[in-house]
Chains A and B, each alone.
Chain A
Amino acid sequence: MNCLTRILTIPSIILLLLQSGEAWALQPHGGGEGLYVHQMAHFFFMITLTYLYLHTRRTQDPASRGWRYLRVFCVLFFFWNLMAIIGHETALHLPSDHFINAGTWRERLAPPLSTLKVVYFFSKMDHFLMVPALLALFFSLRSFYREAREDAAQ
Chain B
Amino acid sequence: MNGLPLAPTNVVDLVGSGLVIFFSFMSLVYANFLVRLQPRNFIWGFLFYFCIAITAFSISRGIGHILRIFLVLGGEEELWQLISPWSGGFNTLFMISVSSAIIYYHKGLEAYKAVRSEAEKLAEANRKLAETADELQKVNTYLEDMVEERTRELSKSEKKFRHFFENSKDMVYFCDINGNITDINQSGLKMLGVDKPSKQLNLLSFFKNDGDLDRYLLGLGENGFVSDFETEMESRDGSIRNILLSANAIFDKEGFIVGCEGIAKDMTRLRTMTDQLIRQEKMASVGQMAAGVAHEINTPLGVILGYTQLMMDDFDKDSEVYENLGIIERQTKACRKIVADLLKFSRQTGSAKVEVDLNELIEEVLTVSEHNLNISHIRVVRRFGPGLPPIIGDAEKLRQVFINLLNNSHHAMADGGEISLTTAHDQASGEIIASVQDTGSGIAEEIKSKIFDPFFTTKEVGQGTGLGLSVTYGIIRDHGGSITVESPVQDQETGQRRQGTAFHVRLPVAVEQKALNEEK
> Does A45 count as interface, using CB distance less than 8 angstroms?
yes
| Inter-chain contact A137/B91, CB cutoff 8 Å | no
In the bound complex, what is the Cα–Cα distance between A48 and B100 (angstroms)?
A: 8
Contact residues, A105-139 vs B (CB, 8 A):
105-113, 117-118, 121, 124-128, 130-131, 134-135, 137-138
In the bound complex, what is the Cα–Cα distance between A113 and B106 (angstroms)?
A: 46
In the bound complex, what is the Cα–Cα distance between A99 and B6 (angstroms)?
A: 9
| Inter-chain contact A109/B19, CB cutoff 8 Å | no
| Inter-chain contact A41/B10, CB cutoff 8 Å | no
> Does A9 count as interface, using CB distance less than 8 angstroms?
no
List the A residue with the shortest CB-CB distance to B58: A134
> Does B96 count as interface, using CB distance less than 8 angstroms?
yes
In the bound complex, what is the Cα–Cα distance between A125 and B26 (angstroms)?
A: 23
- Known contacts: A104-B73, A105-B10, A135-B23. The answer to whether A144 contacts B92 by CB under 8 A is no
List the A residue with the shortest CB-CB distance to B100: A48
| Inter-chain contact A45/B5, CB cutoff 8 Å | no
| Inter-chain contact B47/A121, CB cutoff 8 Å | no
| Inter-chain contact B34/A121, CB cutoff 8 Å | no
> Does B75 count as interface, using CB distance less than 8 angstroms?
yes
In the bound complex, what is the Cα–Cα distance between A121 and B77 (angstroms)?
A: 21
> Shortest 3 CB-CB distances between A and B: which pairs?
A127-B16, A124-B9, A141-B30
| Interface residue range, chain B | 35 or more
List the A residue with the shortest CB-CB distance to B7: A105
Of B10, B41, B88, B96, which one neighbours A44 at CB under 8 angstroms? B96
List the A residue with the shortest CB-CB distance to B37: A148
In the bound complex, what is the Cα–Cα distance between A19 and B443 (angstroms)?
A: 149
> Does B172 count as interface, using CB distance less than 8 angstroms?
no
> Does A103 count as interface, using CB distance less than 8 angstroms?
yes
- Known contacts: A51-B106, A141-B27, A148-B34. The answer to whether A105 contacts B54 by CB under 8 A is no
Supply 11 further A-B pairs (C-beta < 8 A) apart from A38-B91, A134-B27.
A38-B88, A41-B92, A47-B99, A52-B102, A107-B10, A108-B4, A110-B3, A127-B15, A128-B16, A134-B19, A152-B38
| Inter-chain contact A109/B27, CB cutoff 8 Å | no
Of B2, B20, B73, B109, which one neighbours A111 at CB under 8 angstroms? B2
> Does A24 count as interface, using CB distance less than 8 angstroms?
no
| Inter-chain contact A105/B73, CB cutoff 8 Å | yes
Of B37, B77, B103, which one neighbours A103 at CB under 8 angstroms? B77
- Known contacts: A55-B106, A145-B37. The answer to whether A131 contacts B20 by CB under 8 A is yes
In the bound complex, what is the Cα–Cα distance between A126 and B9 (angstroms)?
A: 9
CB distance from B194 to the nearest CB of A (A): 79
- Known contacts: A41-B95, A51-B102, A103-B77. The answer to whether A109 contacts B89 by CB under 8 A is no
| Interface residue range, chain A | 35 or more
Kindly list chain B residues whose C-beta atoms are within 8 Å of the C-beta of A110.
3
| Inter-chain contact A137/B3, CB cutoff 8 Å | no
> Does B33 count as interface, using CB distance less than 8 angstroms?
yes
CB distance from A17 to the nearest CB of B (A): 12
Kindly list chain B residues whose C-beta atoms are within 8 Å of the C-beta of A4.
none
What is the 8 Å Cβ interface bit string for chain B, positions 34-50, against chain A (1 contact, 0 not)? 10011001001001000
> Does B51 count as interface, using CB distance less than 8 angstroms?
yes
Kindly list chain A residues whose C-beta atoms are within 8 Å of the C-beta of B5.
106-108
CB distance from A48 to the nearest CB of B (A): 4
Contact residues, B104-144 vs A (CB, 8 A):
105-106, 109
| Inter-chain contact B85/A48, CB cutoff 8 Å | no
| Inter-chain contact A125/B12, CB cutoff 8 Å | yes
| Inter-chain contact B30/A113, CB cutoff 8 Å | no
For chain B, what secondary structure do more than half of its interface residues adopt (helix, strand, loop), or is it mixed?
Answer: helix
> Does A20 count as interface, using CB distance less than 8 angstroms?
yes
In the bound complex, what is the Cα–Cα distance between A59 and B46 (angstroms)?
A: 15
| Inter-chain contact B3/A100, CB cutoff 8 Å | yes
Q: Which residues of A contact B (CB under 8 A)?
A: 20, 31, 34, 37-38, 41-42, 44-45, 47-49, 51-52, 55, 59, 99-100, 103-113, 117-118, 121, 124-128, 130-131, 134-135, 137-138, 140-142, 144-145, 148-149, 152
> Does B327 count as interface, using CB distance less than 8 angstroms?
no
| Inter-chain contact B88/A138, CB cutoff 8 Å | no
| Inter-chain contact A138/B30, CB cutoff 8 Å | yes
In the bound complex, what is the Cα–Cα distance between A112 and B15 (angstroms)?
A: 29
> Does B507 count as interface, using CB distance less than 8 angstroms?
no
| Inter-chain contact B34/A45, CB cutoff 8 Å | no
Kindly list chain A residues whose C-beta atoms are within 8 Å of the C-beta of B77.
103
| Inter-chain contact B4/A127, CB cutoff 8 Å | no
| Inter-chain contact B23/A137, CB cutoff 8 Å | yes
What is the 8 Å Cβ interface bit string for chain B, positions 230-268, against chain A (1 contact, 0 not)? 000000000000000000000000000000000000000
- Known contacts: A41-B99, A134-B19. The answer to whether A127 contacts B13 by CB under 8 A is yes
A–B Cβ pairs within 8 angstroms, 11 of them = A31-B85, A59-B109, A103-B73, A105-B10, A106-B7, A121-B4, A126-B16, A128-B16, A137-B23, A137-B24, A145-B34
Kindly list chain A residues whose C-beta atoms are within 8 Å of the C-beta of B20.
127, 130-131, 134
List the B residue with the shortest CB-CB distance to A67: B43
CB distance from B204 to the nearest CB of A (A): 81
CB distance from A18 to the nearest CB of B (A): 9
In the bound complex, what is the Cα–Cα distance between A92 and B347 (angstroms)?
A: 168
List the B residue with the shortest CB-CB distance to A20: B85
> Does B435 count as interface, using CB distance less than 8 angstroms?
no
In the bound complex, what is the Cα–Cα distance between A150 and B120 (angstroms)?
A: 20
In the bound complex, what is the Cα–Cα distance between A34 and B24 (angstroms)?
A: 25
| Inter-chain contact A138/B98, CB cutoff 8 Å | no
CB distance from B278 to the nearest CB of A (A): 97
> Does B291 count as interface, using CB distance less than 8 angstroms?
no
List the B residue with the shortest CB-CB distance to A100: B3
Kindly list chain A residues whose C-beta atoms are within 8 Å of the C-beta of B501.
none
| Inter-chain contact B37/A152, CB cutoff 8 Å | yes
